[in-house]
Structure 1
């Protein structure tokens, strides 16, 4: 099944269906979406939803562990915390994901995507983490095993470049997967996330080889990779830059200004471009691949149609 990522807004149904009908002829069979409060849950039934990407908090570990001094550093005050989490109590994380789980069932999603990762805002420039992947995995397990119970869609855990599930370490991936109590589970491999912090990646040939090798390093776990997010990075040696100016600008800003600096940095690091490599060589390493989703950046409906069609050329 081949889908693309799309988050609907009010009044967009007609425009969406116009391009979707055209893309269906090329082999597109649905969309992966995020369910938010901006749209009534019943409105999602108008869209061909196959997957639901659950809400994601890039920064959550300190909030979950109630480390108030670090929370203050990242969010300044209670208003900043409320704007980000919608509560001052850590139980909001459990409540939010439980609601997302139930909403995904209502729209009859076939699969869910859950980010297993954590990064503090200041660390995205320095990569100087004060927490380990194991710590992130252990705390994530507490949430996952409390939220996802009983029957439900296939739950896919996505790799990110930050501490947590990177899919670059077989032992840690196995450790996490074996401790998830929800039975209907698997992994989702995000192509740009696994390479976007690798400084030696120069082109798509390097990217293809690197991803294939990392899949093989996962040994028997590769049979649980049921989904792939297809997206590519730009090969402009971005990580070789000196980020001292960005860091200084970030330090001086208020929470809103800091967010703008962070967002610009992340767009450069992970721009969600068309993946122009040998996708077949990657897919051939995944014996049980079910869901291929194009997670691409676009500026308009017409541009969405263009990038999806372009990406399809590398799949067929």
Structure 2
């Protein structure tokens, strides 16, 4: 099944379905979306939702571990903490994910996507992390095993380049997967995220080889990779850049100013461009692949159709 990432907004339903009717002729069968407060839940039922990407907190471990000193270092004051987490109590994370889980079932999503990762804002430039992947995995398991219980959609754990689930280490991947109690589970391989874990990839041909190598390293765990996020990056050795200027501006900015710098940095690191590699070879390494989602950046519905069609040329 091929879908694309899309977050519905009010007053654009008619335009969306004009584009979607065309894309259906190209083999697209639905969308992967994020359920937010900007639309009532009933509105999502109008859309062809196949997957729900659960809310993602890039920075959460200090809050979860109730390390108030580090939380305030990252978010400054009560207003900053409340804007990000909507509470001062760690239980809000459990409450938020439980509601997302129930809402996804109500709109009959086929699968869910959960990010297993943590990074503090300043570390997206320095890669000097406070935590190891095993620490992130252990704390994530506490949340996952409390939230996801009983029957429900397929729960797919997505890789990121930060500490947590990178899908690069077989033993860590196995360790995490075996300890998830929710039975209907698997992995989602994000192509650009795994590329971002290796600085020496210069083009899509090298990216193909690297991704296939990492899939092979998963051994029999590759049969649990049920989903793929298709997206690419710009091969311009961005991470080799001297970020001293950005770090200085970030250090001297207020929370809003820092957020803008962080966002621009992440757009450069992971721009969600069309993946122009040999996708068929990658897919052939995943024997039980069910869900292919085109997670691409687009500025409006007017250009969405063109971008999706371009990406489909590398799949068909």
Q: Give TM-score scaled by structure 2 length.
A: 1.00
Spell out the pairing of 1:1-316 with structure 2 (5 A cutoff). 1-316=1-316
Aligned mates of 2:173, 2:63 — CA distance in 1: 24
What is the CA deviation profile of residues 42-72 of structure 1, one whole-angstrom value per residue up to 9, with x for unaligned ones? 0001100000000000000000000011001
Deviation at 1:80, TM superposition (A): 0.5
Decide whether the 8 Å contact of 1:31 with 1:48 is kept in 2. yes
What is the CA deviation profile of residues 187-206 of structure 1, one whole-angstrom value per residue up to 9, with x for unaligned ones? 00000000124211000000
Decide whether the 8 Å contact of 1:154 with 1:184 is kept in 2. yes
What is the CA deviation profile of residues 160-200 of structure 1, one whole-angstrom value per residue up to 9, with x for unaligned ones? 00000000000000000000000000000000000124211
Decide whether the 8 Å contact of 1:283 with 1:289 is kept in 2. yes
Decide whether the 8 Å contact of 1:195 with 1:207 is kept in 2. yes
What is the CA deviation profile of residues 196-217 of structure 1, one whole-angstrom value per residue up to 9, with x for unaligned ones? 2421100000000000000000
Unaligned runs of 5+ in 1: none
Q: Secondary structure at the match of 1:143?
A: helix
Deviation at 1:270, TM superposition (A): 0.1
Q: Secondary structure at the match of 1:200?
A: coil
What is the CA deviation profile of residues 238-259 of structure 1, one whole-angstrom value per residue up to 9, with x for unaligned ones? 1110000000000000000000
Q: Secondary structure at the match of 1:157?
A: strand
Root mean square deviation of aligned Cα: 0.4
Q: Secondary structure at the match of 1:248?
A: helix
Decide whether the 8 Å contact of 1:197 with 1:269 is kept in 2. no
Q: Secondary structure at the match of 1:98?
A: helix
The number of residue pairs the alignment matches comes to: 316
What is the CA deviation profile of residues 138-158 of structure 1, one whole-angstrom value per residue up to 9, with x for unaligned ones? 000000000000000000000
Q: Secondary structure at the match of 1:29?
A: strand
Decide whether the 8 Å contact of 1:211 with 1:282 is kept in 2. yes
Unaligned runs of 5+ in 2: none
Decide whether the 8 Å contact of 1:101 with 1:148 is kept in 2. yes
Decide whether the 8 Å contact of 1:191 with 1:231 is kept in 2. yes
Decide whether the 8 Å contact of 1:197 with 1:239 is kept in 2. no
Aligned mates of 1:46, 1:69 — CA distance in 2: 44
Decide whether the 8 Å contact of 1:113 with 1:155 is kept in 2. yes
Aligned mates of 1:228, 1:315 — CA distance in 2: 12
Deviation at 1:303, TM superposition (A): 1.0
Deviation at 1:113, TM superposition (A): 0.2
Aligned mates of 1:67, 1:304 — CA distance in 2: 42
Aligned mates of 1:197, 1:217 — CA distance in 2: 15
